[in-house]
A and B are shown apart, each in its own frame.
Chain A
Amino acid sequence: MTKENDPNAARKTWMSLLAKSDAGVLSQIWDKADIAPDFRFLRAPEIGGVMVRGRAGAVGAAFNLGEMTVTRCSVTLNSGAVGHAYVQGRDKKKAEVAAQIDALMQTDLAAQVEAAVLAPLRKIAETAKQTRAAKAAATKVDFFTMVRGED
């Protein structure tokens, strides 16, 4: 399914962003946004593992590479909106906040959450990615031929 006609594309994007965010940074931005809703747990934060897979030769049969730690959580708001989180690491607060954000993004508060939480998170992630790419680019080799043998 391409991104354009995937009805879940937007939700995928924000859930993915939350999963990969730094727990400390997310907590800071969330507290500052001051939009914590009333909620109750459908599933209290739970720490577990996910088996990460690769492919033989990058393109062939799948194999098990090893596990990573993941914390999951599900919440429901008073409005009935349900939010889920599967986030990297073992930070229960991160999973709880991510589930609340997922729920809020399905309500009228979506625009507010997007501006106060997701946009700054996205900016931090993009800056980090660009900085690393720029450092890598500085180590790209420029070949030049010194002498070409004639015999």
Chain B
Amino acid sequence: MYVAVKGGEKAIDNAHAWLAEERRGDTSVAELSVAQIREQLALAVNRVMAEGSLYDPDLAALAIKQSRGDLIEAIFLIRAYRTTLPRFGGSEPVDTEKMACDRRVSATFKDAPGGQVLGPTFDYTHRLLDFKLAADGEAPQAPMTDAPPAETPHIMSFLDRENLIQDEPAGPKVPDDLTRAPLELPASRALRLQALTRGDEGFILGMAYSTQRGYARNHAFVAELRIGAVPVEMDIPELGFAVDIGEVTLTECETVNQFQGSKTEPPQFTRGYGLVFGMTERKAISMALVDRALRWKELGEDNVGAPAQDEEFVLYHADNIQATGFLEHIKLPHYVDFQSELELIRKLRREAQAVQEAAE
């Protein structure tokens, strides 16, 4: 039962005013600009773009400032803004083969054409706090090597040539879109990938880790991980041809997985796929592992009852905005609901007491 009550407007206004003051913090410390967040907290910006499902570094940086660094709150702001935008259309699928790679590594082939390019990675750092960063320092400069533009073909294409890797079937030109229609099960691979790429990094990481620890183990190798810029091309209705409408930085992870064969498929390698906005490598690897686990049905594998194989469990709990919305609503007033619970407990206790007294 709902009972409308009024009150608290002044308390709410004052709470928001205090929030604004706390957001600013000590005024003797310089204020952060949105550009500083965009440039210097780039990986937080990337996460907000990926899970907010909107590529716009300035908006993501603003959201991080507004949310005081609470990234889920920032993602919420971006999702809300996104719904106000008219949709001009859908792009052609991005061609990641043509990516200008900042980073490109393969865990399966040492001598991959195009080479192993580490890029600006945390790998091989010692994870020791660098106190130099706490002091004002000079801007560091990366070394450069002149290199002729090299092709970086997908590693998977080599396995494909030998027919050792499972085919990727084509699909409809306009894929299902969970921002336009409620997610229904069973979900197409397109819907699963969309839900995973905008899903919570922590949740997807946990699910991926569970597959590595043995819950639907599928023994993934990272055939290739690449990060870099790709152009986004869209058909312009006024013109009747496609032009680049921008460029986005993406992280792509392709896993290759042992597969003994099943009732329907010969022994071969199978694929898991991760593609995420920004430099978001932990998320992309996690996405590829969970994508692969969810494919058990189409590959004719057994359902061993592992959480990562359960598409309802994974897809309905991956979205941190849905999750936090439902979770946090329980802190809002439930006075009347609780009043009825209280009445019920009192009544039950009275009855129990009466029974006990009658027995004595």
Binding site for B on A (CB under 8 A): 8, 11-12, 15-16, 19-20, 46-70, 72, 74, 84, 86-90, 129, 131-141, 143
**B 216-248 binary contact with A (CB < 8 Å = 1; else 0):** 000000000000000110101011011111111
Give the residues in chain B near A47, CB-CB below 8 Å.
85
Q: A63–B145 contact, CB under 8 A?
A: no
Which 3 residue pairs spanning A and B have beta carbons closest together?
Answer: A61-B171, A60-B168, A88-B246
Known pairs A62-B172, A66-B54; A53 contacts B90 (CB<8 A): yes
Q: A69–B56 contact, CB under 8 A?
A: yes
Give the residues in chain B near A84, CB-CB below 8 Å.
236, 238-239
Which of A16, A55, A141 gathers the greatest number of chain B CB atoms within 10 Å? A55
Give the residues in chain B near A135, CB-CB below 8 Å.
102, 142-144
Q: B194–A61 contact, CB under 8 A?
A: no
Q: B277–A62 contact, CB under 8 A?
A: no
The interface on chain B, measured as residues whose beta carbon lies within 8 A of the other chain's beta carbons, has a size of 83
Kindly provide the distance from the CB of A7 to the nearest chain B CB, expressed in whole angstroms.
9
State A139–B110 Cα separation when bound (angstroms).
15
State A72–B246 Cα separation when bound (angstroms).
12
Kindly provide the distance from the CB of A1 to the nearest chain B CB, expressed in whole angstroms.
9
Q: A61–B190 contact, CB under 8 A?
A: yes
Give the residues in chain B near A50, CB-CB below 8 Å.
87-91, 232, 234, 245
**Contacting residue for B85 out of A8, A49, A63, CB 8 A:** A49
Q: Which residue of B lies closest to A47 (CB)?
A: B85
Name 9 interchain pairs, CB-CB below 8 A, sorted by A. Answer: A52-B91, A53-B94, A55-B94, A58-B154, A61-B169, A64-B190, A66-B54, A67-B85, A137-B145
Give the residues in chain A near B173, CB-CB below 8 Å.
62
Give the residues in chain B near A59, CB-CB below 8 Å.
154, 156, 168
Asked if B63 is at the interface (CB within 8 A of a chain A CB), the reply is no
The A/B interface has a contact count, at CB < 8 Å, of 230
Q: Which residue of B lies closest to A58 (CB)?
A: B96
Q: Which residue of B lies closest to A82 (CB)?
A: B238
Q: Which residue of A lies closest to B142 (CB)?
A: A135
**Contacting residue for B171 out of A20, A48, A60, A140, CB 8 A:** A60
Q: A62–B85 contact, CB under 8 A?
A: no
Q: A48–B85 contact, CB under 8 A?
A: yes
State A46–B271 Cα separation when bound (angstroms).
41
Q: Which residue of A lies closest to B270 (CB)?
A: A57
Q: A68–B246 contact, CB under 8 A?
A: yes
State A61–B246 Cα separation when bound (angstroms).
22
Asked if B118 is at the interface (CB within 8 A of a chain A CB), the reply is yes
**Contacting residue for A54 out of B96, B149, B178, B244, CB 8 A:** B96
B interface: dominant SS: mixed
Q: Which of B100-158 contact A (CB under 8 A)?
A: 100-103, 110-111, 115-120, 142-147, 149, 154, 156
Asked if B175 is at the interface (CB within 8 A of a chain A CB), the reply is yes
Kindly provide the distance from the CB of B274 to the nearest chain A CB, expressed in whole angstroms.
10
Known pairs A61-B169, A134-B146; A49 contacts B82 (CB<8 A): yes
Asked if B177 is at the interface (CB within 8 A of a chain A CB), the reply is yes
**Contacting residue for B232 out of A56, A60, A68, CB 8 A:** A68
**Contacting residue for B194 out of A64, A68, A72, A129, CB 8 A:** A64
Give the residues in chain B near A131, CB-CB below 8 Å.
144
Known pairs A137-B146, A140-B115; A20 contacts B102 (CB<8 A): no
Q: Which residue of B lies closest to A129 (CB)?
A: B100
Q: B115–A70 contact, CB under 8 A?
A: no
Known pairs A65-B197, A65-B277, A84-B238; A20 contacts B244 (CB<8 A): yes
State A49–B87 Cα separation when bound (angstroms).
5
Kindly provide the distance from the CB of A94 to the nearest chain B CB, expressed in whole angstroms.
11
Give the residues in chain A near B241, CB-CB below 8 Å.
8, 12
Q: B231–A16 contact, CB under 8 A?
A: yes
Q: B231–A20 contact, CB under 8 A?
A: yes
Q: A20–B247 contact, CB under 8 A?
A: yes
State A51–B173 Cα separation when bound (angstroms).
13
Q: A51–B93 contact, CB under 8 A?
A: no
Give the residues in chain B near A68, CB-CB below 8 Å.
54-56, 232, 245-246, 248
Q: A138–B246 contact, CB under 8 A?
A: no
Known contacts A61-B189, A88-B232; 6 additional CB pairs below 8 A are: A15-B244, A51-B89, A57-B273, A59-B168, A60-B189, A64-B178
Asked if B92 is at the interface (CB within 8 A of a chain A CB), the reply is yes
Asked if B193 is at the interface (CB within 8 A of a chain A CB), the reply is yes
Q: Which residue of B lies closest to A52 (CB)?
A: B91
Asked if B50 is at the interface (CB within 8 A of a chain A CB), the reply is yes
**Contacting residue for B54 out of A60, A63, A69, A88, CB 8 A:** A69
State A139–B123 Cα separation when bound (angstroms).
12
Give the residues in chain B near A137, CB-CB below 8 Å.
117, 144-147
